[in-house]
Amino acid sequence: MLGGTRCVALLAEGHFDATDAKTAVGVLRYRPEAVAAVIDSTRAGRTARDCAGVGGDVPVVADVAAAAALGANALVIGIAPQGGGLPPAWRPLLRDAIARGWTIYSGLHVFLGDDPELGALAAASGAAIHDVRRPPAALPIAAARAARLDAAVVLTVGSDCNVGKMTAALELERELTRRGVRAAFVATGQTGIFIAGEGVAVDAIPADFVAGAIEARVLAAARDTEVVVVEGQGSLFHPGYSGVTLGLLHGAAPSALVLCHQVARTQMRVGGEHDPAIPIASLAALRAAYEAAAAWVRPARVIGVALHTGGLDEPAARAAVAAAAAELGVPATDPVRFGAGPLADAVLARAGRTHAPHA
Q: How far is the CB of 219 from a copy of itself (least distance, A)?
A: 12
By the rule CB under 8 A, 310 interacts with a copy of itself: no
Nearer to a copy of itself (CB atom), residue 31 or residue 269: 269
In sequence order, the 6+-apart residues with CB closer than 8 A to the CB of 302 are: 157, 256, 257, 258, 259, 287, 290, 291, 328, 330
Nearer to a copy of itself (CB atom), residue 7 or residue 146: 146
Closest by CA position to 52, among listed 70, 25, 80: 25
Radius of gyration of the chain (CA): 20
Q: How far is the CB of 55 from a copy of itself (least distance, A)?
A: 28
Task: Give CA torsion, residues 163, 164, 166, 168, to 10 deg.
Answer: -150
Question: What residues numbered 61-90 form the site for a copy of itself, per CB under 8 A?
Answer: 82-84
Q: How far is the CB of 9 from a copy of itself (least distance, A)?
A: 26
Question: What residues numbered 148-167 form the site for a copy of itself, per CB under 8 A?
Answer: 148
Stretch that binds a copy of itself, among 44-52, 133-141, 151-159, 190-198 (CB under 8 A): 133-141
In sequence order, the 6+-apart residues with CB closer than 8 A to the CB of 60 are: 16, 37, 38, 39, 40, 43, 44, 45, 46, 47, 48, 51
Q: How far is the CB of 52 from a copy of itself (least distance, A)?
A: 25
Q: How far is the CB of 184 from a copy of itself (least distance, A)?
A: 21
CA 135 to chain centre: 17
Nearer to a copy of itself (CB atom), residue 123 or residue 207: 207
E strands, 25-94, where?
35-39, 60-61, 74-77
Nearer to a copy of itself (CB atom), residue 285 or residue 316: 285
In sequence order, the 6+-apart residues with CB closer than 8 A to the CB of 290 are: 157, 236, 249, 257, 259, 300, 302
Nearer to a copy of itself (CB atom), residue 60 or residue 216: 216
By the rule CB under 8 A, 241 interacts with a copy of itself: yes
By the rule CB under 8 A, 207 interacts with a copy of itself: yes
The number of CA neighbours under 13 Å toward the Cβ of 194 is: 34
Q: How many CB atoms lie within 10 A of CB 51?
A: 22
Q: Which of 26, 78, 212, 304 is in the footprint of a copy of itself by CB under 8 A?
A: 212
Stretch that binds a copy of itself, among 43-51, 170-178, 290-298, 320-328 (CB under 8 A): 290-298
Contact 183, 196 (CB under 8 A): no
Q: Which of 236, 263, 332, 346 is in the footprint of a copy of itself by CB under 8 A?
A: 236
Stretch that binds a copy of itself, among 8-16, 117-125, 233-241, 324-332 (CB under 8 A): 233-241
CA 283 to chain centre: 21
| 3-class secondary structure, 190 | helix
Q: Which of 65, 69, 123, 144 is in the footprint of a copy of itself by CB under 8 A?
A: 144
Report how many residues bind a copy of itself under the rule CB under 8 A: 50
Nearer to a copy of itself (CB atom), residue 51 or residue 202: 202
Q: Which of 64, 142, 168, 307 is in the footprint of a copy of itself by CB under 8 A?
A: 142
In sequence order, the 6+-apart residues with CB closer than 8 A to the CB of 105 are: 1, 2, 74, 75, 76, 77, 130, 132, 194
H/E run at residue 8? strand 8-11
Contact 324, 308 (CB under 8 A): no
Q: Which of 45, 88, 206, 352 is in the footprint of a copy of itself by CB under 8 A?
A: 206
Nearer to a copy of itself (CB atom), residue 104 or residue 202: 202
Instruction: Write phi, then psi, for 171 (nearest 5 degrees).
Output: -65, -40
Nearer to a copy of itself (CB atom), residue 250 or residue 308: 250
- Chain positions contacting a copy of itself, by CB under 8 A: 82-84, 109, 135, 140-145, 147-148, 202-208, 210-212, 236-237, 239-248, 250-251, 253, 270-272, 275-276, 278, 281, 289, 292-293, 296-297
